[in-house]
Each structure stands twice: as structure tokens, then as C-alpha cells.
Amino acid sequence: MRIDADIKFDFKDVLIRPKRSTLRSRSEVNLERKYTFRHSKLTWQGVPIIAANMDHVGTFAMAKVLSKSKLLTALDKFATKEEWKNLDKKILPYCFVSSGTRDKDLARLKEAMSAADCPFICLDIANGYSQHFIDFVKKTRAAFPDKIIMAGNVVTGEMAEELTLSGADIVKIGIGPGSVCTTRKKTGVGYPQLSAIIECADAAHGLKGHICADGGCTSPGDIAKAFAAGSDFVMLGGMFAGHDECSGEILEKGGKKFKRFYGMSSKEAMMQYYGEVASYRASEGKSVDVPYRGSVEDTIKDILGSLRSTCTYVGAEKLKELSKRTTFIRVTQQLNEIYCTQEVND
């Protein structure tokens, strides 16, 4: 046993310090990024925000709307071959085919790719530290040498390097920060998301790899902080939940409208897809009803408008420049000192 006493930060622990800017308007900010990936050698251009591969968020309806603004969607791994076959080919450059790590997941992945020939693959597992997952990434890279593979989740630099070297073009970062994830409470395992992004970005970029911040963003400001910390992509679940494009019916309670939102490791998800919670495990997700929010188009405008505003505050003409122009200010210690002073005075 050992204790790492270095201070680690979440999004709530910092703010971005403004800097002198020559930008006159948010309209001057370009949010598109252009990436060429280490293994696949493919080049992609668009706005690097991804709807999470949750069955009620990563839907084909979501992909159709997000693609109009050049945002990405990780379609959930339970999407059928028939659904992929019927997908509008114009949307494909903005879609991930998602997969777990079992043999039947790989078979389903091959089936989906044969139907849609999507450029992106998302390999998703709660614990990206297992040797089994590393081996699966290698196996998938061998099967799809010309596809952009995103794999995770991990939170430390050495594993970001390991997955990059094993065949991942993008490493997904985050253990426990999601709004419907209970891994930290159930297992005590996790890592503050902002620090995880900073450390993993440094490791992956040194190998010409890329990372995706997955989880912990509850506001547009958090998305800006993730990009400012060095993330190449940002994946959103809760912020895209509750919309018309999400699966599930609209519920009414006390005169208000809601939609169901749950983690893919929750009891609700496991009962739906596997018929049980296996006797050897516990659920590591929860189910909640989130306020109904109408079309996701308004949320997209709010996120992108806010992100452009962040860039104007630090003088970043392009999203690419945001991390280079960012200085984070630590705020949590100052707040704690204020509260302590107030308690003493009282």
C-alpha cells in the first residue's frame, strides 16, 4: 500500500483565467478539428464532441441530428445489422460502431461493419486495465487495420500509452465520473477527471495518439475545461439525455415531463439485456428520471455557443489553440478557507 499525496483536480476545482484577446466576436471561432490517426492513418475533420454509447443516448436519431453540426455519435453496441444497413451513408463519417470484449461482441462488430463500413470503432469496458482488454484491442486492430479505434476506459498515463501502443487511435479517459456511474461508491476506485485528462493527454500525445474525455461534464464549462486540459474529444452522456432523439417514452410526474436515464452497468440495463445481474458482480450504475428537454438541437447550439465564448475569453481563434492558451486557477482551496473563516466568525 502507498499514498500518492499529489493534489488531483476535477472540473469543479478549477476555472480558466481570461487573457487578452483580439477576437471581436464568437463567430470568429472555429470549433472544427482535423486529426490524422496513428494506426489507421485516416484523417477526420469535424467538431470532436461525441454522444455516449449508451442505448438511450447513442441512438440513430441522435446521430442524424448531431451529424448536421459535424458532431459524433457512438451508437450503442446492441444496434442491429439491419439498423446499420438502413443508416444514411452521409451520417457514417460521424458514427462509431460500439463493442464489448466478448467473442460474440466481436462477431456483432464484424456484422455491423460489413453492413455499414463505418470509419470509427468504440471498444468499451469499465476496467481498461485488464490484460484481456489489451489483448482484445490488439485482436480488433488486426481485424480492422484501417479503422479508427477508440478504446477505454483508463485514467493513468502508463495505460494510455499501453492502449495506444496496442492499437488504439483514441484512448477513452474516465473511471467513475459519469452522472449515473456508481463505480467510485461501490468500489472506491477512480481518479479526478481533469487531472486524468492532463496526464493521459501528455502520455498519448507523446506517441502521436489521441484521447477522449468520457464522463464528468455537467455543463458547457466542463466541456471547455476538458478541451483546455488537452483532450482531443469529449464524450457526453447526461448532457445529451432527456431529448426527443433519446430512446424511451416521455414520463409524466406531478405535471412535469421526464425521460429515463441509466448507466449501462446499472441493474436496469443488465436486466434488460442479460436478464439478470450476475451473481459474482454488483451493479455499478444507477437509474434516474431526467427532465424532458425537447429536441437536442437547442442543446447543441448552447454547447457550441458556450465553447466559442470560452475561446474568445482566452484569445483562441481555433479550438486547437484552447489548451495552449489556458491557465487553470485552483478555486477549491480558496472556497474551503472562506467557509472555515465563516464558521470561526460565527
Tens of pLDDT, residue by residue over 240-292, are 999 999 988 888 888 888 787 765 555 454 555 455 555 555 555 556 788 89
In this prediction the pTM is: 0.90
When the pLDDT of each residue in the chain is averaged and rounded to a whole number, the result is 89
Whether the CB-CB separation of 151 and 123 falls below 8 Å is answered with yes
Q: Looking at the predicted structure, is the pLDDT value of residue 293 above 60?
A: yes
Tens-place pLDDT, residues 63-119: 999 999 999 999 988 888 899 999 999 999 999 999 999 888 999 999 999 999 899
What pLDDT is stored for residue 281 in this prediction?
Answer: 58
Catalytic residues: 181, 183
Strand partners for 149: 121
- The order of strands in the sheet holding 256-262 is 251-253, 256-262, 287-291
DSSP 318: B
Per-residue DSSP letters for 238-267? GGGTTSTTSSSPPEEETTEEEEEEE-TTBH
Nearest in space to 203 (alpha carbons), one of 150, 151, 157, 154: 157
Q: What is the rounded CA–CA span in Å between residue 346 and residue 331? A: 23
If phi > 0 it is left, if psi is from -120 to 50 it is alpha, else beta; for residue 36 that is: beta
Give tens-digit pLDDT for 223-239. 999 999 999 999 999 99
